[in-house]
Amino acid sequence: MSIRVGKTGNEAVAEAMRQINPDVVAAYPITPQTEIVQIFSSFVANGKVDTEFVTVESEHSAMSATVGAASAGARSMTATSANGLAFMWEIVYIAAGMRLPIVMPVVNRALSGPLNIHCDHSDTMGARDSGWIQLFSENAQEAYDNAVQAPRIAENPDVKLPVMVTMDGFIISHAMEVMEILEDEKVREFIGKYVPENPLLDVDNPVTLGPVDLQDWNFEHKRQQAEAMRNAKPVILDVASEYAKLTGRKYGLFEEYKLDDADIAIVVLGSTAGTAKVAVNALRAKGVRAGMLKMRVFRPFPAEEIADALKHVKAVAVMDRSDSFNAVGGPVFVDVRSALYDVDNGPKIVNYIYGIGGRDVTPDHVKTVYADLAKIAETGQVENPLTYLGIRE
Amino acid sequence: MANLLEIRWHGRAGQGAKTAALVLAEAAISTGKYAQAFPEYGPERMGAPMKAYNRISDEPITVHHHVEEPDIVIVLDPTLLTVGDVKAGVPDDGIYLINTPLSASEMRKTLDLEGSGAKVYTLDATQVSMDTIGRNIPNTPMMGALVAATGLLELDELLEDTRIKLSKKLRPEVVDKNMEAIKRAYREVAS
């Protein structure tokens, strides 16, 4: 039986890390991720885990040590936020390119500057092309569930890619809510024993990892990396279906909320999805056919599945909690619109950038988006392809 | 109890508004309810005005935004009455729970709530915490006052969960003093 508890998002993810019991964790604290590292280090100090905890002097070193440990054959984790992720950047790509199955919770926070410690998705959206799998979470429960599923996805022989598990800074990381955790032995059984393929510590079978890889083979290796990301999609679904048997909680590439018969719909990631559900319910009660698509897996990007789920909708708004500063629209918008390009008579599609730097988003904000969509669905005309939601102009 | 109850705590950083909100949520969760507790962080420094929030419901809560129309407002520090608008968004029949040596009728006048349907409760939580804990930590007495004023939880449920939560951080004798503070506040809060 699952255990019903009240936990903050950070506590939930630290709990998942305790149950995963990684061989190595190398991490550096940064708001709002700090508690994860703090709580986990107390697990280490109190002998609750067997983990070798490496205290490093920066995030660049945190990811470097994690890459080193994973290369040695250790199940390895770290965690970060915002500028910490930015400081890791060089090694984030190396982790993916070396096909190391590292799992990293990232507590979403605005990238400086101006300096801001609150939630937006600019940190992980910047890493969307780094070669990491990205799983977004609506709440503490999903952050926990994604963290428990992540090692199985990362370590699958067809995948062997690092995984980021995200949650919204403060909004989820520091908010206590009801969730269920699994018993330790169930998690241990679910994730199983990690058997690395070519560990450096296997001295009987010496290998070199991460050598120079020039014109003759680099392209082939990058092609394999791309294939691994394609392979990740069915693996993520397989792991989710096994996890559903264990917990009753079903996960897919995304969640469709009242989308089947929707005329208008939004696409959203993270905690705002829960707020949007309240708006959808209120609109449905008035007879408005509103729906929502909440993305869980942003990388690999489920383009065909999204196109299929949205093809019948008349107007779609993609909600971006970060800006691409490309003078066009946010990163989720660009990908979703591209996914819908080949759909005949597909929906009109618009972009809303919202919640930057932790700007609060209420059901009323979301309702204004649906009101705009209703107008677009009725007239077939798009007046504003890009709207900054809740901004003072 | 309304299906969704929203609470806003006004305190100064270091007075335990966040801890109070967390303990209250945990206590509510342990009775089978759904609850959220979350602070509103600004620049973090001791003494700065801050807010914390609770949502408590019989059904799952999916929203994740600030509480804007709280049913209950709890003020841990009387000096905050003149700093921010503790009445912002509170409905006419809202509940106010103020840490102050003033009586409820005096506080009603201070808050300009005379003739309104609001319920005003006062408790000198600073005095209670000085007498019992020996420091000005008004959060635990104000939780006792909240339970007495609203019947949101049973006193025993609050005491048990507070003991568990505080025992993780505090020495047993300090936890006992907090228990005493809650019980005294439960008796002394007045409307």
pLDDT tens, A116-145? 999 999 999 999 999 999 999 999 999 999
Determine the Cα–Cα distance for residues A383 and A386; give it in Å rounded to an integer.
9
Residues in B touching A114 (Cβ below 8 Å): none
A264 vs chain B: nearest CA distance in angstroms? 20
Smallest CA–CA distance from B59 into chain A, residue = A178
**Terminal Cα-to-Cα distance of chain A (whole angstroms):** 52
Contact B25 A277 (CB under 8 A): no
Place of tokens 């201070």: B110
Q: Quick one: average pLDDT of A38-42?
A: 97
- pLDDT tens, per residue, chain B with 191 residues: 348 999 999 999 888 899 999 999 999 999 999 999 999 877 667 888 999 999 999 999 999 999 999 999 999 999 999 877 899 999 999 999 999 999 999 999 999 999 999 999 999 999 999 999 999 889 999 999 999 999 999 999 999 989 998 998 899 999 999 999 999 999 999 99
Give the pLDDT of residue B85.
86
Fold (CATH) for A3-247:
Rossmann fold (3.40.50)
Compute the nearest-CA separation of A179 from chain B (Å).
Answer: 9
- CATH 3.40.350.10, applies to A254-389: no
- What stretch(es) of chain A map to CATH 3.40.50.920? 254-389
Averaged over A329-341, what is the pLDDT?
98
Inter-chain contact A178–B60, Cβ cutoff 8 Å?
yes
Residue A365 — pLDDT band, cuts 50, 70, 90? Answer: very high
The per-residue pLDDT for B43 is 67
Q: How confident is the model at residue A1 (pLDDT cuts 50, 70, 90)?
A: low
d(CA B21, CA B7): 9
State yes or no: pLDDT of A204 exceeds 50: yes
| Alpha helix ranges (H) inside chain A | 9-20, 34-45, 59-72, 82-97, 122-126, 140-155, 184-191, 218-247, 272-285, 303-310, 331-339, 363-379
pLDDT confidence of residue A393: 85
In A257-276, the residues whose Cβ lies within 8 Å of chain B are: 271-272, 274-275
| Residue A292 neighbours by CB under 8 Å, 6+ apart | A255, A256, A257, A258, A259, A265, A266, A267, A268, A273, A276, A277, A280
Mean pLDDT of the region A257-274: 98
Distances (CA, A) of A8 to A68, A139, A234, A357: 31, 9, 30, 20
The pLDDT assigned to B2 comes to 47
Assign B66 to helix, strand or coil. coil
Task: Output the pLDDT for position B1.
Answer: 37
Q: With a cut of 60, say whether residue A2 has pLDDT above it.
A: yes
Query: What are the tokens at A293?
Result: 């698509």
CB-CB neighbours of A239 under 10 Å = 22
Write phi, then psi, for A40 (nearest 5 degrees): -65, -40
CB–CB contact A174 B60 (8 Å)? no
Least CB–CB distance from B35: residue in A6, A172, A360: A6
Residues of chain A with CATH 3.40.50.970: 3-247
A63-95 pLDDT, tens digit per residue, is 999 999 999 999 999 999 999 999 999 999 999
| Residue A156: pLDDT over 50 | yes
Contact B65 A275 (CB under 8 A): yes
Greatest alpha-carbon span in chain B:
46
Spatial strand order of the sheet with A3-8 comes to A3-8, A176-181, B34-40, B49-57, B4-12, B72-75, B95-99, B119-123
User: Across B63-128, where does the E strand assignment appear?
Assistant: 72-75, 95-99, 119-123
Amino acid at A338: S
CA distances to A93, A127, A221 from A218, rounded to whole Å, are 14, 21, 5
- Predicted interface score ipTM higher than 0.85: yes
CA-to-CA distance for A312 and A307, rounded, in angstroms?
A: 9
> How far apart, in whole angstroms, are the C-alpha atoms of residue A174 and residue B64?
12
